[in-house]
């Protein structure tokens, strides 16, 4: 399966809402309720990209929008960044997220001066942990009550890869 990244577009709002509103996305904090909310989020992301804080992409697999991925720069520590991803449940277990992580790393290597990339994943999100491990990230620790989704807090593992 051919996987590529492209900049997120406002026109992706309907597709992202469809993916993220599914109840199986229990560990992803973005839960837009309407297309209007998702469009507002995508407009904000566009501003953050111009400011060098966030770089977000649609994940395209075999010419279909199957999810999203992004890079968040830590402004306090500008030598490190975090990456994240989400995939439509119909496309889980096909290696798409692992390929997207590699493409994000390539973007970081070519465009950003980073020493370290981090992936934070909910402790119960075994699939996302598997992506981190397959991508060569090392588990560094447990972050207690680190992720809030709705009213629920989740413990998370932090994985990291040193680039230089």
61-83 residue pLDDT tens: 999 999 999 999 988 999 999 99
pLDDT of residue 87: 95
22-34 residue pLDDT tens: 877 776 666 778 8
- Distance of alpha carbon 72 from alpha carbon 49, whole angstroms: 9
Question: For all residues of the chain together, what is the average pLDDT?
Answer: 93
pLDDT of residue 123: 95
- Distance of alpha carbon 61 from alpha carbon 93, whole angstroms: 13
- Distance of alpha carbon 46 from alpha carbon 99, whole angstroms: 24
The 8 Å CB, 24+ separation contacts for 88-92 are 88/18, 88/19, 89/19, 89/22, 89/24, 89/25, 90/66, 91/61, 91/66, 91/67, 92/127
96-123 residue pLDDT tens: 999 999 999 999 999 999 999 999 999 9
* CATH number of the domain bearing residue 10: 3.40.630.30
Determine the structural domain holding residue 53 and report its residue range.
3-162
The pTM (predicted TM-score) of the whole model is 0.93
- Distance of alpha carbon 15 from alpha carbon 79, whole angstroms: 33
| Total domains present in the chain | 1
Q: How far is CA 40 from CA 32, 47, 112, 134, 137, in A?
A: 10, 11, 26, 34, 33
């Amino acid at each position: 399966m051919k996987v590529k990244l492209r900049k997120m577009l406002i026109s992706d709002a309907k597709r992202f809402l469809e993916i993220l509103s599914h109840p199986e996305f229990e560990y992803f904090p973005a839960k837009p309720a309407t297309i209007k909310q998702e469009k507002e989020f995508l407009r904000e992301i566009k501003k953050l990209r111009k400011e060098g804080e966030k770089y977000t992409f649609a994940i395209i697999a075999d010419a279909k929008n199957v999810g999203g991925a992004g890079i968040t720069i830590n402004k306090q520590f500008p030598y490190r960044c975090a990456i994240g991803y989400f995939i439509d449940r119909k496309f889980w277990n096909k290696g798409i997220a692992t390929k997207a992580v590699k493409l994000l790393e390539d973007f970081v290597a070519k465009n950003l001066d980073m020493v370290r990339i981090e992936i934070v994943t909910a402790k119960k999100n075994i699939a996302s942990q598997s992506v981190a491990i397959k991508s060569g990230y090392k588990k560094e620790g447990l972050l207690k009550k680190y992720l809030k989704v709705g009213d629920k807090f989740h413990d998370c593992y932090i994985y990291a890869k040193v680039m230089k």
